[in-house]
Amino acid sequence: MKANSQRVKGKNFRPLHGKPLFRWILDSLLAIDEIDCVVINTDARHILEENGLVESDRVKIRDRKAELIGDTVSMNLILADDIANVPADTYLMTHTTNPMLRAKTIGDALGEYQAAVAAGTADSLFTVNKIQTRFYRADSSPVNHDPDNLIQTQDLEPWYEENSNLYIFTAESFAKTKARIGKQPMLYEMDKMEAVDIDTPEDWALAEAVAAILSRADKKVTA
């Protein structure tokens, strides 16, 4: 969790539909009993404190090393530092910028990952968006379809976009690739509205709209 952001200034602490952005994913993670500890790797401990967040029995705040601070530092290097200093059977990684990611989705993904590991069919998991549409290269040549045979898009071969919402892995799988995605990953498909990842002002506006829609839906359910 960085203090500064390039395209949306101070986004990690900026209020989104009534609460700071970082609280959205933190609340979802803390709602899952299977998660023993949430580790926040940050250069902004003071800003977290200003927003009422300090360490507790389930929240550990790690001050990011100086050599790991910067917009061009690979997240895998930060994860390697966390793994070296926080031993765990399973690591689950997400971002402050994934506010719509629900506790149920995280729990379901964790369950499917654990089942796949037990069956020997996967060593890691990452979330994706399923896409079925017509793609073209820059020279206008088709990538995944025949323009002279326009079949329905729902009948096209599905492609899967890594949506940066959730990664699950072990220290062992990480060691093999030096990355959060192991040698034998499984894809976990997400609802696109839930998979909002805030990188730009347009993403922020979309997250605000989705949060408003979900808030109205929750009020109808509880009414």
pLDDT value of residue 103? 97
pLDDT value of position 106? 98
| DSSP output for 147-208 | TTS---GGGSPPEEEEEEEEEEE-HHHHHHHTSSS-SSEEEEE--TTTT----SHHHHHHHH
Instruction: Name the pLDDT band for 211 (thresholds 50, 70, 90).
Output: very high
Residue 179 token pair? 């990355």
Determine, yes or no, domain membership for 15: yes
pLDDT at 202 over 70: yes
Q: Which domain holds residue 31?
A: 11-222
Task: Provide the CATH number for the domain around residue 102.
Answer: 3.90.550.10
Count of CB atoms situated within 10 Å of the CB of 218: 10
> What does pTM read for this prediction?
0.92
Could you tell me if residue 34 is inside a domain?
yes
The pLDDT of 172-180, averaged and rounded, is 97
The pLDDT confidence band at residue 6, using thresholds 50, 70 and 90, is confident
Q: Is residue 187 in some structural domain?
A: yes
By CB neighbour count within 10 A (0-12 exposed, 13-18 middle, 19+ buried), where does 126 fall?
Answer: buried
Residues 101-117 have pLDDT tens digits of 999 999 999 999 999 99
Whole-angstrom distance, CA of residue 123 vs CA of residue 104: 21
Average pLDDT over residues 22-46: 97
Closest CA to 58 of 81, 79, 87, 29: 29
Residue 136 DSSP code: B
- 5 in a domain, yes or no? no
Assess if residue 6 is contained within a domain. Answer: no
pLDDT beyond 60 at 26: yes
Tokens describing residue 118: 């037990």
Q: Is residue 54 part of a domain?
A: yes
Considering the domain boundaries, does residue 1 fall inside one?
no
140: alpha, beta or left? (left if phi > 0; alpha if psi -120 to 50): left
Residues 6+ apart with CB under 8 A from 177: 183
- Would the pLDDT of 221 be above 80? no
How many domains are contained in the chain? 1
| Confidence band for 222, pLDDT divided at 50, 70 and 90 | low
Contact 41, 48 (CB under 8 A): no
Is 95 part of any domain?
A: yes
Q: How far apart are CA 95 and CA 166, in angstroms?
A: 8
Mean pLDDT score of the chain? 94
pLDDT higher than 90, residue 218: no
The letter for the amino acid at 183 is: K
